[in-house]
Amino acid sequence: MHVHTPYFFPQRVGLADYAAIAYPGQFIELEYKAPLFTCSRGSLGPPPQRYNGMAVIIGVMAAAVLLIFAMAAIVAVAA
């Protein structure tokens, strides 16, 4: 099975593949989670699934917070 999330550019985000054998009348429960970061792969498989790209998002947020504190320190020192 192949799953993705439609997006503007690139057109397919969160590509995920899963191979399963299903016999007639058998149901297989799968869960798909789109990634938090656009360039990451999605998660597909038996539930529960995790969000991919979490480390990238945490890193970007940490860098933004550090930048804000650095700018506040520069303004405080300059005043």
What is the pLDDT at residue 11?
84
Handedness of CA 5, 31, 41, 53 (dihedral sign): positive
Q: Which two tokens stand for residue 4?
A: 């993705």
What local confidence, expressed as pLDDT, does residue 79 receive?
Answer: 82
Per residue of the chain (79 residues), what is the pLDDT tens digit?
899 998 887 788 899 999 999 999 999 999 999 999 888 899 999 999 999 989 989 999 999 999 999 999 999 999 8
pTM: 0.70
Query: What whole-number distance in Å separates Cα of residue 64 and Cα of residue 72?
Result: 12
H/E stretch holding 78 reads helix 54-78
Sign of CA dihedral 17, 19, 25, 31: negative
**Would you state the pLDDT for residue 49?**
95
Total number of domains in the chain:
1
Which residues span the domain enclosing 37?
A: 2-78
